[in-house]
Structure 1
Amino acid sequence: MEDLILRRVSVHDRYQLELKLGYPLQRERATRYRIDTYLFAPYSLGVNAGSYPPEEFYRDIQHYVRMKTPLLQLQEVLESPRSPLVQVESSLQALGDGLTPQQEEMLCDKLRILRAVVKSALQDHLSPIGRPQRCITAETEAFFEAVVTNAIDAIDRFEQRFRALEAPLAALGAGPALMRTFALTDEAISVLVEDLLLRVHQLAWRWLSPPTLYPWRKRLAERVRAEIDYRRAVGYPSVLTRKTRESYVRRISALKKFTSSVLWLSTRVKREGALLQHALYAFAAGVSMVFATLVAFYAQATYGELTMPVFIALVVGYMFKDRIKESGKAISSQLLNRRLYDYRTIIETSDGRRRLGHVREKVAYVHPDKLPEQVKTARQAGAQDDLAAMGGFESVLLYAKDVVLRKDAFAYLSRNGLDISAINDIMRFDVRPFLRKMDEPYVERLTLKGETVQKVRCHRTYHLNLVSVFTGEDGRTTCERTLVILDREGIQRIEQFDAAGRPAPAYRPRLPIDPPEWTEVE
């Protein structure tokens, strides 16, 4: 089970958590998963069914469903038959005169996916550099030089071969849409290479001693400058200067969306059980009407048609009729909530022609006494410094997801030679509703230092705990806890623990940037 569902919790920005779930596709059968996420919030934050109903929770989340980027090593991008670059080169060599619309569409998809493939391959290749060494030795320097040299050589070879595709595309009479796709992908890859090399430049001091550091920083700077000069010479607008800071950010964001959209899947969200809900509500209305009619018939048969007792009986019958109807609707809603989910998201291909599966979602508050034992154990495991957990002073919100993927989804997504093995479900959760009742983030406290009393500035934080339970088709479950540390200004950090309360490494970018290295670029 541990290897089935790929999961990651990370900080997207100051106010948003990003929960990423990967659902591997089975080749011959449908796949099904269930993910229950329990959110524990201290009572002091004022989060409960009255102040923060499930409808608001759905407004605070944002979903993206996409195909998982094909995983290729850096050399495989250049040589493997699974590489989109190799596939495009082979297709152009095999094609005769002219391109059909279907062939142009296929080439557009393979070109656009290259940016995501190259990004994943480069980050994996350079990821060891993101783990700095405590001391710099000849071995660490040799390792850094080998990793970065291989990366730069592979980048040079890739860009040379990719940019050489422009001539055969033009010779085959590629349409404006295909040529524009090539140009935008070329620009996006150049920006990506520049960004990754700049990150390596900032991390070099952790691996190299000064005599080796300065030549390497010069080499990296020259390679980055070559990318900038290339985009400027070709006429691409993604060159960062003092005057283009705003347009540059907008441009690179649009390039990323354009190239990665080939991996996006279309979704349709609909309310689950709407027809059944209307049927049960109609039944409740019918029962209440039967009661009111029987009261009216009985009163008229007993007291006559136009008498005061009949009038009183009709009024009382109407009063009970209204209450019976509302009680029936409440009971029906409770029955539906036990059996049905709130929403059903249909996962389709981007063109809407093929249904791949669906995701069902449900949000509800759970009483702490009714939590599964596995969840209670995970919440209480490990060292606890939170009195809210020990005293049970927490609101518990359950967000449940049931995922079903069709058995033909794998074959359909991989039909063009792309190595698609999983679907990623990315959810961003806005925590700002949890910040409303928080106190000021810093408070001054008195402390004794020697014989004098001094004021100390202390940081006031609050803890949200997310306990996730993953259930596979075989019924096996795995559980983990994520601690989200907040203050009034937003998310400060996250910490992750396994079911036994042991610290687990939280997700970090594969090429982190050391904060002291940031400088203002004029």
Structure 2
Amino acid sequence: MNNAVLRRVVVHDRYQLELKLGYPLQKGRTTRYRIETYLFAPHSLGINATSYPQQEFYRDIQHYVRMKTPSFELNEVLNSPHSPLLRSEMLLQMPRQALTPTEEEALRDSMRILRAVLKSAAQNYLAPLASAPSPMTLATEQEFIERVATATTVLDQVVQRYRALAGPLMEARASDELLRAFRLTDESISILIEDLLLRVHQLAHAWLSPPLLVSWQATLVTRVRAEIDYRTAQGYPSVLQKATRESYMRRVSALKKFTSSVLWLATSTHREGTTWEHVLYAGAAGVSMIFATLVAFYAQAAYGEFTMPVFVALVVGYMFKDRIKESGRTFSSRLLNRHLYDYRTVIETQDGRRQLGTVREKATYVPLRNVPAPVLAARGAGPHDDPAFAGNLETVLLYAKLVTLRNDAFDYLSKDGVEVTAINDIMRFDVRPFLRKMDEPYEERLMLKGDKVRTVRCHRTYHLNLISVFADETGAITCERTLVVLDRKGIQRIEQFDAMGRPAPTGGRRLSLQSADFVENE
């Protein structure tokens, strides 16, 4: 699926889907992308314009906009001229009496970007280990050993060189704020290495036979223990113990936010078309006032000033004036909804000095007969023969986005030497409103097994279908379908299909830092 917009759908938790859209930046060009997502929900869930209006939909989504993590191979983190590690080293090697505020800011950003780059590069490099080989052979064992040994060596060199920056920072009279950023990033990188190696430790049994398994797991344990001891020696509080589980999770989350915040972008959202709305509403009020005034003038001319016919005419005129005004407002609202979006979000740098682009959003219910044919074809394709779709027993909610990125966004974001190729728009969607009308998740049914009747427990699920349509400036259109399987307890799983109904991956392969299916995403 070669669409310009990069898309990945994952389960964030039991009640939230996470949809990540990546908008590639074109150097020296203003780029525009249109993304339409059609949500097909069964009528039995009671989702419609009355029970679930657009404003409630907007309350159930949460947006984060950030720069895409710069892409590096694992070994490039050490030697690429664009590596944030190398840039930090070169900046501190320059002779000076003290660091300038601009240099301190550049160092602080490079340190935090290093953690994001290292995480992405290590996960991508170790991703093949997530799929167990079948069968296990000497070749697969050697592949595991070489990949883990290479990753461990690179990680060791990265932390050694990063921690060696402490001396030059002191010599350059770094501020307390910069030294604190250095230590917080150091702590976060240490936790990242521990998580990666523990995950590899879990996967080792699928790759190695018992003799090698014991040896390599012991090696990994020793390396993990070294990171734990290092954090203890440095006085970092992020050491997981039975008594520190709660504080550990809070600390890890705060460290992740601190280091990744360097890639975040500021946004400001406001309703679109408010000026036009006021103008049209004022026009409707003016038309209604003209009608009432004409009625009053006519009645006074025909019947005099203080007569009963004039009184009746004034009352009737006011009644029609009020209805004309409300009808005008209704017509104006429909006109605006047809031609404008609901909200406009301005994407800016964190300091607010530079505008990078805009995202316009619109949510509306669409009659099934008005859904485009390619969308209906993508909805009906695939292995699931759904009677709800065949019987037109679904409600369709359209969520549309129009993204415009400025022609100087690429140059501005890449001015410090770290190339930023895309902006990520991360949306979390809460599905709990769709669970209200669901039946109990399990039901006992009778089943004939041989000559005997058995009682079996069946799982009752419901399907939401998300059909995403991507269009770029060339007019190229791509459809993708995501099947969300729900029960009353929340999200059970998701499945991805292309426009022809063929299974498709949910995104690039990366080594999860968690043993559960809910993957941490940056």
**Normalised by the shorter chain, which TM-score bucket?**
over 0.9
Q: What residue in structure 2 maps to residue 452 of structure 1?
A: 452
Deviation at 1:516, TM superposition (A): 9.6
CA distance in 2, matches of 1:188, 1:514: 16
Q: What residue in structure 1 maps to residue 27 of structure 2?
A: 27
| Contact 1:266/1:347 (<8 A) preserved | yes
Q: What residue in structure 2 maps to residue 182 of structure 1?
A: 182
Q: What residue in structure 1 maps to residue 197 of structure 2?
A: 197
Q: What residue in structure 2 maps to residue 173 of structure 1?
A: 173
| Contact 1:202/1:513 (<8 A) preserved | no
Q: What residue in structure 2 maps to residue 99 of structure 1?
A: 99
Q: What residue in structure 2 maps to residue 409 of structure 1?
A: 409
Deviation at 1:220, TM superposition (A): 0.8
Q: What residue in structure 2 maps to residue 484 of structure 1?
A: 484
Q: Secondary structure at the match of 2:243?
A: coil
Q: How many correspondences in the alignment?
A: 517
Q: What residue in structure 2 maps to residue 152 of structure 1?
A: 152
Q: Which amino acid aligns with 1:408?
A: D
Deviation at 1:474, TM superposition (A): 0.8
Deviation at 1:455, TM superposition (A): 0.8
| Contact 1:41/1:394 (<8 A) preserved | yes
Q: How does 1:248-267 map to 2 (within 5 A)?
A: 248-267=248-267
Deviations 1:428-478 (A, max 9, x none): 000000000000001100111222221100000000000000000111111
CA distance in 1, matches of 2:514, 2:48: 39
Deviations 1:284-321 (A, max 9, x none): 00001111111111112122222222222111111111
| Contact 2:124/2:509 (<8 A) preserved | no
Q: How does 1:46-195 map to 2 (within 5 A)?
A: 46-195=46-195
| Contact 1:203/1:513 (<8 A) preserved | no
> Which runs of 5 or more residues in structure 1 are unaligned?
518-522
CA distance in 2, matches of 1:100, 1:476: 48
Q: Which amino acid aligns with 1:249?
A: M
Between the two proteins, what is the percent identity of the paired residues?
66
Q: How does 1:278-357 map to 2 (within 5 A)?
A: 278-357=278-357
Q: Which amino acid aligns with 2:299?
A: A
Backbone CA RMSD of aligned residues: 1.4
Q: Deviation above 4 Å: which 4+ runs of structure 1?
A: 512-517
CA distance in 2, matches of 1:160, 1:88: 14
Q: What residue in structure 1 maps to residue 207 of structure 2?
A: 207
Deviation at 1:513, TM superposition (A): 7.4
Q: Secondary structure at the match of 1:383?
A: coil
Q: What residue in structure 2 maps to residue 368 of structure 1?
A: 368
Q: Which amino acid aligns with 1:505?
A: P
Q: What residue in structure 2 maps to residue 244 of structure 1?
A: 244
In structure 2, the CA distance between the partners of 1:37 and 1:516, relative to structure 1 (3 Å rule), is: closer
Deviation at 1:282, TM superposition (A): 0.3
Q: Secondary structure at the match of 1:244?
A: helix
| Contact 2:199/2:515 (<8 A) preserved | no
In structure 2, the CA distance between the partners of 1:66 and 1:255, relative to structure 1 (3 Å rule), is: same
CA distance in 2, matches of 1:349, 1:510: 28
CA distance in 2, matches of 1:383, 1:227: 48
Q: What residue in structure 2 maps to residue 464 of structure 1?
A: 464
Q: Which amino acid aligns with 2:442?
A: Y
CA distance in 1, matches of 2:128, 2:357: 37
Deviations 1:202-239 (A, max 9, x none): 11111111121111111111111111110001100000
Q: Secondary structure at the match of 1:479?
A: strand
| Contact 1:38/1:468 (<8 A) preserved | yes
Q: What residue in structure 2 maps to residue 10 of structure 1?
A: 10
| Contact 1:66/1:265 (<8 A) preserved | yes
Deviation at 1:102, TM superposition (A): 0.9
Deviations 1:241-284 (A, max 9, x none): 01100000000000000000000000000111101100000000
State whether structure 2 residue 253 is matched by structure 1 residue 273.
no
In structure 2, the CA distance between the partners of 1:509 and 1:465, relative to structure 1 (3 Å rule), is: same
In structure 2, the CA distance between the partners of 1:508 and 1:486, relative to structure 1 (3 Å rule), is: farther
CA distance in 2, matches of 1:65, 1:469: 20
| Contact 1:10/1:508 (<8 A) preserved | no
Q: Secondary structure at the match of 2:456?
A: strand
State whether structure 2 residue 25 is matched by structure 1 residue 37.
no
Q: Which amino acid aligns with 1:305?
A: E
CA distance in 2, matches of 1:59, 1:3: 29
Q: What residue in structure 2 maps to residue 520 of structure 1?
A: none
Deviation at 1:508, TM superposition (A): 7.7
CA distance in 1, matches of 2:198, 2:299: 88
CA distance in 2, matches of 1:483, 1:231: 43
CA distance in 1, matches of 2:401, 2:312: 51
Deviations 1:63-88 (A, max 9, x none): 00000001001110000101000111
CA distance in 1, matches of 2:270, 2:186: 39
> Which runs of 5 or more residues in structure 2 are unaligned?
518-522
Normalising by the residue count of structure 2, what TM-score does the alignment of the two structures yield?
A: 0.97
| Contact 2:7/2:507 (<8 A) preserved | no
Deviations 1:332-378 (A, max 9, x none): 11111111100000000001111001000000000000011111111
Q: Secondary structure at the match of 2:110?
A: helix
In structure 2, the CA distance between the partners of 1:21 and 1:514, relative to structure 1 (3 Å rule), is: closer
CA distance in 1, matches of 2:14, 2:332: 41
CA distance in 1, matches of 2:146, 2:104: 39
Q: What residue in structure 2 maps to residue 217 of structure 1?
A: 217
Normalising by the residue count of structure 1, what TM-score does the alignment of the two structures yield?
A: 0.97
